[in-house]
Chains A and B, each alone.
Chain A
């Protein structure tokens, strides 16, 4: 029940909010805080009771806190039996993501206190979004997964489209259409998978139970002979389609242009959620679904995936350097950093995969901090033009120090979480012949990232104080609280990474072994 609680408590509180008159702003604000705090507490209970020795991935027994209820079960005649279940469960891949969601979710709520417009609608949308995101990370039934996946879209659309900046409608529509097309590709493959896998292979066609259960699809013994996805090249096609569906969310070059627009228009807390949690949906989809279901395609396309990862890293970094809008710069740096996840996953090594997972978490907290940093200055100066400031470190020394911390975290300074992730990705990528050369090229990203962050800092914070900004107020205690919480987490993971990696070790190794061994077993399937 704990996972259901985790998912639905924000939604229940949101539903309760509907009946509260919209003038009672404190109720919405503190109600949202309450929802987030409960989520965080539940996640703490999960971590406390989590069994580190269980792997999960493709073994139903390895999942923990499982809830499994049959939801829809109808016979479809010669098409077998349709079986949709409400299945939740977590393993080492999903637990860190739940921690991230609850943590960044709370930060987002605190940051949302600065929202002044339609407060009621805002917090209701926010909490529904929170529920949906949590649901994605806990769902084990593909139907349910897809449901939560789509459920994120709608509140996000409104949060950008109503509470956003001047071009919010354009950005919201772009975000919606882009991700929606991505989900359609995913849906297509889900249906294909649904027809190709059954829980009782060998039964008569009308008795075959076609399940949406992900774990069923990860075990190739459940493949129906002669079905569409038992043909190797169709499996590759399905892999590519679904990969593209997730790639939009990551976002992977060249499907990334929705992200800068969405970020620039979104209000600060929504940018925090977008970069902190939402982008991880794409890469989480890869490890949760795509890698275990299509291991042979992963092996087949590994080089290509790594290539796109490296393009993301370098192209994102270079484009970031060419920006003049601070928020856009951070958005492109997100694209660059998510490239490390692709590179790490494509290396198919324990280090690389772990690096990718750590990067997902680390980028979640670092980018949350970066967008908060941008929010602080935007709230005060009402613009984000990098060339329009100058010398702010004199006026706001604490804020300058925090910005520098966030910038250095993002450029991979050792002792902070980003370094652990990038180091592991490099180690994994370099050790494999397939990805070795690409990894060498990717190290250039370390340099470009340093250049654009330090130049930005130099332009905004150093030199003589711009006389226009002698009246700026120092960062306030609410902002400082959020920054401190994020900063401490970044330091913790950076100095003592085992605090994070130990949760994932068994699962990551299992995933890796699964992909590598299944990839060889599947050869000659046809």
Chain B
């Protein structure tokens, strides 16, 4: 079985790559520019991935995993660089999730991108992205993970900048790659620390090495290494302070936003942290929890005042990723992974739904120009409402199960550490839940309810074609609770939480087993209070949105006026872009200009001056080259005389 599953997994990996190559080199010459081929490839990949997932689900063994290694580089030493794939429960589920969403996005794009002049290329890029993403999912080692990691960066760069004629799109793609690279450098340094200790990149071997106490540096170094590795996730999963690229990435085509910037690429960071979870020291985990909690809160506040339908979702994504990161940091490992899965479906549904709205409204993205669209787009509306409910964390929907588990984990973690300041992290998560319900409520009310604010665009709007709404329906069904857990109020009994067990870290000196049980106990203890408080938060958030935007109980302009500093802070995204502009960007430019100046006017000046002086000296000496034999004889005689005089003296 091992061999078959590995081969099938490799087939899933390779199919999108083949799709990429075909589309790039031959796509334009194929009938319909090869959209059916690319979509077909992904469909096939999904079916195979589904088969693998079913295999794992039916075995239902927490420890089941298949492995295949090969030697990539051997430099004739006792070590070599071994790359390989590993398929375990987490990988199998993620594999199915990524291929499904990628397939649906392919399908959706057939209509959405129909008129684009680079239609074939577009599908090629989607294939390249899916390939890179699956590479991360399947890697059993840090090295190939890093390689695919950067390839994801590349394909994201290509897709964000797909409409390169738009200046903003081109700038956004550069920004995304560069900001991600900052994270990548950290990740790479983390890999180097582990490499220089163990001379292996295989994760299982590294974990075993740490377990056996072969990490000879101090625990501080392990913490630093963990945080450095985590930096990679900070970049990819758009966590504070590297979150700035994600909202700009919305310049890409909307299906791309759904695939990359909602469901998969940004999830890569979370997935990666899950993979390295056991080697993270408690201190590193605390840092991770704080960053996650803070990001969840910060991004939610930014989403409150945005007017672009996609940007609201973008900040919401950052915020939800913050939840996942926080979940990992507090040790709610299964819950975080669970949220990764549920979020992928409902967020992809929201993004594709927003794409449907944008498509129907002829590329209008401002929610102030919309309104009343539920009558025009009934299917889109219903699916959007379902996904919104899931995101807001209402019971009966998938998001509730997973988000609740994370916040409960946060409370458990806080009391495990004795409360106090530790409570801030879950409190941030809970506040973000309120904000989430509010901004999603605001969006749904403004877009789908009330009177149309732009009559002309409203009149032209109509329901999207079937290739677009079928993915919406599929994804919204996947956002309901029964798929994940038969108990609508808790995911603990569901298959996911039992298939992906919580982990303990292997860091030496931290006695895990007992503490893991204690943490689980405390988390269970926090469960019911979390359920009640988070449902309350969601309802309050929706209620406020309802009164403000449906009942017009409050004049929003006046509200913005009276809370002006807060409003501006939110609207301007806490001024991160401005701060980075004057420090990092300008600093870089100045440094570059100074270097270029120094090179021309100092170093090269010295070189030229030396050359000039030598030339000048040559001019002097040239005077002796008179060309007259008489003077040469005279010079020679003088020389001989001087020689003998000197010889006599000494």
Binding site for B on A (CB under 8 A): 174, 177-178, 254, 256-258, 315, 318-323, 350-351, 354, 391, 393-394, 397, 408, 413-415, 419-420, 423, 426-427, 430-431, 439-440, 443-444, 446-448, 450-452, 454-455, 457-458, 461-465, 497-498, 501, 505-506, 508-509
Is the C-beta of B75 less than 8 angstroms from some C-beta in chain A?
A: yes
Answer whether A427 and B192 are a contact pair too, CB < 8 Å, given A393-B164, A458-B174, A509-B76.
Answer: yes
CB neighbours (8 Å) of B195 from chain A are 427, 430-431
User: Is B171 a contact of A509 with CB atoms below 8 Å?
Assistant: no
User: Is B178 a contact of A447 with CB atoms below 8 Å?
Assistant: yes
Chain B interface SS verdict (over half): helix
User: Is B174 a contact of A350 with CB atoms below 8 Å?
Assistant: no
- Residue of B72, B595, B607 near A322 (CB, 8 A) is B595
- Residue of A447, A448, A463 near B167 (CB, 8 A) is A463
B149-196 residues at the A interface, CB under 8 angstroms: 149-151, 154, 157, 161, 164-167, 169-171, 173-174, 177-178, 181-182, 184-185, 188-189, 192-193, 195-196
CB neighbours (8 Å) of B68 from chain A are none
Answer whether A431 and B170 are a contact pair too, CB < 8 Å, given A318-B592, A415-B147, A463-B165.
Answer: no
Chain A interface SS verdict (over half): helix
CB neighbours (8 Å) of A457 from chain B are 174
User: Is B192 a contact of A430 with CB atoms below 8 Å?
Assistant: yes
User: Is A450 a contact of B192 with CB atoms below 8 Å?
Assistant: no
Stretch at the interface among B373-381, B561-569, B596-604: B596-604
Nearest-Cβ distance from residue A267 to partner chain B, whole angstroms: 22
Nearest 5 CB-CB pairs, A to B? A322-B596, A462-B170, A414-B147, A321-B592, A322-B592
User: Is B595 a contact of A319 with CB atoms below 8 Å?
Assistant: yes
CB neighbours (8 Å) of A430 from chain B are 189, 192-193, 195-196
CB neighbours (8 Å) of B161 from chain A are 462
User: Is A497 a contact of B73 with CB atoms below 8 Å?
Assistant: yes
CB neighbours (8 Å) of B189 from chain A are 430, 440, 443
Q: Give the residue name and chain of the B residue nearest to A254 (CB).
A: B603
User: Is B150 a contact of A443 with CB atoms below 8 Å?
Assistant: no
User: Is A463 a contact of B170 with CB atoms below 8 Å?
Assistant: yes
User: Is B592 a contact of A509 with CB atoms below 8 Å?
Assistant: no
A497 vs B74: C-alpha distance in the bound complex, in angstroms? 10
Binding site for A on B (CB under 8 A): 72-77, 118, 143, 146-151, 154, 157, 161, 164-167, 169-171, 173-174, 177-178, 181-182, 184-185, 188-189, 192-193, 195-196, 588-589, 591-599, 603-604, 607, 611
Q: Give the residue name and chain of the B residue nearest to A393 (CB).
A: B164
- Residue of B169, B173, B192, B599 near A426 (CB, 8 A) is B192
CB neighbours (8 Å) of A462 from chain B are 161, 164-165, 167, 169-170
CB neighbours (8 Å) of B604 from chain A are 257
Nearest-Cβ distance from residue B190 to partner chain A, whole angstroms: 11
User: Is A318 a contact of B595 with CB atoms below 8 Å?
Assistant: yes
Nearest-Cβ distance from residue B225 to partner chain A, whole angstroms: 12
User: Is A394 a contact of B592 with CB atoms below 8 Å?
Assistant: no
- Residue of A256, A450, A498 near B74 (CB, 8 A) is A498
CB neighbours (8 Å) of A408 from chain B are 154
Nearest-Cβ distance from residue B188 to partner chain A, whole angstroms: 7
User: Is B178 a contact of A501 with CB atoms below 8 Å?
Assistant: no
CB neighbours (8 Å) of B150 from chain A are 413-414, 419
Nearest-Cβ distance from residue A140 to partner chain B, whole angstroms: 23
- Residue of B151, B592, B603 near A415 (CB, 8 A) is B151
Answer whether A257 and B603 are a contact pair too, CB < 8 Å, given A351-B75, A414-B146, A463-B165.
Answer: yes
A320 vs B593: C-alpha distance in the bound complex, in angstroms? 9
- Residue of A394, A451, A505 near B178 (CB, 8 A) is A451
CB neighbours (8 Å) of A446 from chain B are 181, 184-185, 188
Nearest-Cβ distance from residue B26 to partner chain A, whole angstroms: 14
User: Is A505 a contact of B75 with CB atoms below 8 Å?
Assistant: yes
User: Is B73 a contact of A319 with CB atoms below 8 Å?
Assistant: no
Q: Give the residue name and chain of the B residue nearest to A314 (CB).
A: B595
14 A-B pairs with C-beta separation under 8 A: A256-B603, A318-B591, A322-B593, A351-B75, A414-B146, A430-B196, A446-B185, A462-B170, A463-B164, A498-B73, A505-B74, A505-B76, A509-B76, A509-B77
A427 vs B607: C-alpha distance in the bound complex, in angstroms? 36
- Residue of B73, B181, B193, B599 near A501 (CB, 8 A) is B73
Answer whether A319 and B192 are a contact pair too, CB < 8 Å, given A350-B75, A415-B147, A505-B74.
Answer: no
CB neighbours (8 Å) of B74 from chain A are 498, 505
Additional A-B contact list (7), CB under 8 Å, known A413-B150, A447-B178, A509-B75: A350-B75, A408-B154, A454-B174, A458-B171, A497-B72, A498-B72, A505-B75
